[in-house]
Amino acid sequence: MTRRVAVIGAGNSKFGKRKDLTVRELAHEAAREAFADADLEPKDIQASVISVAGEAFAAQGAPAAVISDYIGLAEKPTQRVETACASGSTAIRTAWSMIAAGYLDLMMVVGVEKMTAVSTSEATRLMALAGDSKWEYPLGISFPGFYALMATAHMAEYGTTREQLSMVSVKNHYYGSLNPKAHLQKQVTLEEAIKSHMIAAPLNLYDCSLISDGAAAVILASEDVAKKLTDTPIWIKGLGWGGDTMLINERKTLTRLSGAKRAAQMAYKMANITPNDIDVAEVHDCFTIAEIIAYEDLGFAEPGQGGKLIEEEQTYIGGKIPVNVDGGLKAKGHPVGATGVSQAAEITKQLRGEVEPKRQVDGATIGLQHNVGQSGQFVNVIIYGRE
């Protein structure tokens, strides 16, 4: 029988173009905040799991050793995990597994990426290498292209509109403007979002997430230890993971991520809840169409109705299910290895009632994170809750 595991500390660096900091210094910024949040010191931590998606971005081989040493965990066991953009939530699932199994009691998870040290074109090329290096990357398809194919398919099958895509951007920029840790703290109008220049039709500039620098950290503890250290543990209640074919052309449909649906079902079953029980969600909006598809894969909307959900503003605070009220990847930023850990830190603070008042979901007790790697080859869904 597994032990219960809780998040007892969370930290997030400022996301953005952090040219003044190295990857290890970004990690330290987030870890320091998590230590302070949990009222712990590095000596208290038994081991760490580090999420860094790209060594080329970090300009550092074996980055886990460098990062764990710099944040004060020298001589403590550490390991690095990598599942592309889902690396952060995979790191959390890895640490959860070791604690739930009774192997350890207190672990730190750190996710970090330093992406802006290279040019935009080089960053795009490096991320495109996560596509199949024989049959996709050499033919010029990058991740805007993958998600443009999904958007085109969703529009053709369900009538999803250009306006609905841009409404996701407007919402996430609004909440990003309220988040002091966000990369872009500015609002955009629907007209601005619709008329921004094309990246990969039908996706334009405001449909695409940011190339960012940043880090996040969470501290996980076993039930006995958590109850000794905090009055507000945030329990990991359900976990699910899924995948899909490597080649996007081999999938049965482009209007959903099959691995995300399976991951969500697994997490809901473990937590013994339904989608209607979720009070706040962090979903992987690497592109606006990804958020709309996530609404459907997670059961917040029926297939084909995700566009209607955002059009009716049901994913704003006060609606059916507030989503990405920290700005999401679209406005908060997407430092790849940090993203999944940042989602967990946000949910933790939401459930404690500790975020900025205008973006706090009042009375939230159950939160969900949905973290996607590549174009759906890796997906993690994790459900968190207060007692």
The answer to whether the CB of 12 falls within 8 A of the CB of 182 is: no
> What span, in angstroms and rounded, lies between the C-alpha atoms of 98 and 131?
31
The answer to whether the CB of 350 falls within 8 A of the CB of 282 is: no
208 in catalytic set: no
- Give the other-Cβ count within 10 Å of 163's Cβ: 14
Task: Tell the residue number behind the tokens 């605070």, with chain if given.
Answer: 317
Q: Which of 28, 85, 183, 284 is catalytic?
A: 85
The secondary structure of residue 83, as a DSSP letter, is B
Q: Which of 173, 183, 334, 370 is catalytic?
A: 334
Q: How many helices (H) and strands (E) are present in the chain, helices listed first?
A: 14, 11
* Burial of 272 (C-beta count, 10 Å sphere; 0-12/13-18/19+): exposed
Alpha helical stretches, state H, 41-189: 55-58, 63-68, 87-100, 120-128, 143-158, 162-176
Which residues neighbour 343 within 8 Å (Cβ) at sequence distance 6 or greater? 88, 89, 282, 369, 371
CA distance readout (Å), 100 to 253, 370, 383 = 36, 21, 15
SS3 of 122, please? Answer: helix
CA distance readout (Å), 310 to 64, 192, 348 = 39, 17, 24
The answer to whether the CB of 69 falls within 8 A of the CB of 49 is: no
The answer to whether the CB of 285 falls within 8 A of the CB of 297 is: no
Q: What angle do CA 326, 84, 249 make, to 5 degrees?
A: 105
334 in catalytic set: yes
Residues labelled catalytic:
85, 334
